[in-house]
Structure 1
Amino acid sequence: MENRSASGTRIINAVFLAVVSLLAVAAIALPSARAAELSAADVCDREAGSIFDLQRNMVFPAVATEDIKIGVALSACREAYNQKSGARTEFQLARVLDKAGQKIQSQRILGEAAEHGHALAMTNYAVLVGEEGDTATEFALNQKAAAAGNILAAYNLGVSYRDGMGTSVNGELAIAWFERASLAGDDVAAFNLAVILDEGKLVAEDNAKAAKFYRLAADRGNVDAMVNLGLMLENGEGINKDIPAAREIFRKAANEGDAFAGQKLAALSVSDGFETAMLPKASRIK
């Protein structure tokens, strides 16, 4: 009886080990099987999707330029491109080619993606044609991209209307586009909007609103905005005069390496009652 029992136990153990082995093999094979299910376009999306691309495949996290693995990304995106997988794949292939140093081919395919309506491709391609002097085409491409919701294009339109690049100077439209980009989280757009309102050259001066957008940009870490907001707090321009608050924001800017902020901090730290003459607008950061 004991021998039979022992024999039976060995048989059960053998079956158990066999089942465990099969499960282990299945567990190893499963990721490979799942990986095999991804198309070339899926792998391209996974390896080369940009955080600035609202049209990217949101199933996969965005990939920073410095994190692109050129080997796998280039292979997948080339295959997807050859399979005519669409404008997003074209843009992503152009992105990988640029990272790989293949600039001419990257620009050609970026142009294809822009022509096929990819918003981020349009605003990136707009930069290239603008550098070649075609500001009218640059402006038109940014208009299309901004209409599709691209924030970089919205910012670029703000610059175009502010500086008259590819279009006539228009302060109101510059503010409108900078504000759209600002509300989407762009700190430089918020700063530029504030400067327009602060200077009062393109639109009527509005120091209160300027201070609001300087603060918005400063809260997002924009050092230039910190300096200008500090000056407004110091002098009570567009905002209640508040020397301790001015000192604190100058300190933040100085900690980021801004030399002028360091000088202002030193001056205001002499005493709480220390006051400086109002600096002219021209001394502010533009």
Structure 2
Amino acid sequence: MTILRAGLLASCCAVLTLAQADGARAQISLTPPGVQQQPAPKAAPKAVAPKAAPKAAPQAAATAKQAAPAKKAAPPPAAKAPAQPAATAPAPDDPNVDLAYGAYQRGKYGEALRIATARANDKGDVRAMTLLGELYANGFGTNRDDAKAALWYKAAADRGDREAMFALAMFRIAGRGGPPDRGEGAKLLASSAKLGKAAAAYNLGLLYLEGQTFPQDLKRAAELFRQAADAGSPEAQYALATFYKEGRGVEKNPVETAKLLKAAATADYLDAEVEYAIALFNGTGTQKDEAAAVQLLWRASRQGSPIAQNRLARVLVVGIGAPIDKIEGLKWHLIAKSKGNGDLMLDAELDKLSPEDRAKAEAGARRWLGRK
């Protein structure tokens, strides 16, 4: 197996809109002589936006999943209400219980709003202020009001709450609750990152990668991605892996690339699953393990990655790393092709099938795609 290379880092446009960056995406090459290989689509690091549901513990989490690599660079979806667990409300006299966050997590938003408002106004409770920002930002228990959300986030941020700093930074960058102010947003991200907020470090790294709010500084971006990656951010692990792969801001290091891809893949980061599968398949920076690679390709294919679907199709058609199964393989080829990931070699293989086998592959693809 050899590795063909196309694009890995491209533009990032979720909460932050980033300029295009160069990079490379590995491919499993199963192309016979004389057949042109279709390049893999480009992916991108994605900004991490605040989650709709902070945790009930101190420093409630405010990060959200994407989108990206990537998974692709698209605006983050509207915040969804968290599922309501069956747990009953805690006893009000328990000093270790945060009743406002408990109500929030059970979907009792009106109750959360009432308790948090009283605590914020009467006791100056910082976490209650952050929760009020979340409630107004998402329209939970009240009408959505970005201006009020920004005021509560600022009140909590001024009192040192890193979650509020991060949420307010994303508001400033996106222009919610007031005009856009990327400079102030960057300062808030830096303050939140210093207090250990992984998503803040990651998004600040994206700003240094972009090179608009600050002059582009790949070394500084890599440092911030490392901070967030070490704190467990799969987005940062994947972004830093691309840096090590291409030698951007750091020295090229295929072993470190594979290590970071594995960490992000373990956290179910779809693009990392695909990239790590390819690294395993080719033995790049890690021990070659075709069987493990194919298992990852199956998982990523079922999650909807057209790149994984294309690679899985090639594996099954050629029979490397898995038994030959042309009908199943070409089913996945048709699924990937329906999403714009064509492959001339697999088209040629599809044309070689008997009419009966081709009908089976096409029927399997239609079933997977939800068609009759």
Same fold (TM over 0.5): yes
How far 1:214 moved relative to its partner? 0.4
Residue from 320, 342, 353 that aligns with 1:272: 320
User: Given the alignment of the two structures, is residue 83 of structure 1 paired with residue 122 of structure 2, yes or no?
Assistant: yes
**Distance in 2 (alpha carbons) for counterparts of 1:63 and 1:229:** 38
Aligned to 2:55: 51
How far 1:227 moved relative to its partner? 0.9
**Distance in 1 (alpha carbons) for counterparts of 2:58 and 2:229:** 17
Q: Aligned AA for 1:166?
A: T
Task: Answer whether contact 1:244 1:272 (CA < 8 A) is retained.
Answer: no
What SS does the aligned partner of 1:189 have?
A: helix
Query: What is the TM-score of this pair, normalised by structure 2?
Result: 0.55
**Highest relative contact order (Cα 8 Å, sep 6+), 1 or 2?**
2
How far 1:165 moved relative to its partner? 4.8
Q: Aligned AA for 1:203?
A: V
Q: How many residues align?
A: 228
Residue from 181, 190, 199 that aligns with 1:152: 199
Question: 1:198-209, aligned counterparts within 5 Å?
Answer: 198-209=245-256
Question: 1:35-114, aligned counterparts within 5 Å?
Answer: 50-51=54-55, 54-55=58-59, 59-60=97-98, 67-98=106-137, 99=140, 100=142, 101-114=144-157
How far 1:211 moved relative to its partner? 0.8
**Distance in 1 (alpha carbons) for counterparts of 2:218 and 2:224:** 10
How far 1:51 moved relative to its partner? 2.0
**Distance in 2 (alpha carbons) for counterparts of 1:189 and 1:109:** 28
Bigger drift between 61-70 and 154-163 goes to: 61-70
**Distance in 1 (alpha carbons) for counterparts of 2:104 and 2:300:** 28
How far 1:209 moved relative to its partner? 0.7
Superposed CA RMSD in Å reads: 2.9
List gaps (5 residues or longer) in structure 2: 1-51, 61-94, 323-340, 342-372
Q: Deviations over 1:140-195 (max 9, x none)?
A: 11111111122221222222222235333222332222222223222111111111
**Percent same amino acid among aligned pairs?**
28
Task: Answer whether contact 1:74 1:97 (CA < 8 A) is retained.
Answer: no
**Distance in 1 (alpha carbons) for counterparts of 2:130 and 2:276:** 39
Q: Aligned AA for 1:85?
A: G
Task: Answer whether contact 2:273 2:300 (CA < 8 A) is retained.
Answer: yes
The structure-2 alpha-carbon separation of the partners of 1:53 and 1:120, relative to structure 1 and needing over 3 Å to count, comes to farther
How far 1:127 moved relative to its partner? 0.7
**Distance in 1 (alpha carbons) for counterparts of 2:103 and 2:201:** 21
Question: 1:130-279, aligned counterparts within 5 Å?
Answer: 130-132=173-175, 133-269=180-316, 270-272=318-320
Residue from 165, 172, 176 that aligns with 1:122: 165
List gaps (5 residues or longer) in structure 1: 1-47, 275-282
Q: Which structure is larger by alpha-carbon Rg, 1 or 2?
A: 1
The structure-2 alpha-carbon separation of the partners of 1:58 and 1:151, relative to structure 1 and needing over 3 Å to count, comes to farther
Structure with more of its chain in helix, by fraction: 1
**Distance in 2 (alpha carbons) for counterparts of 1:179 and 1:225:** 16
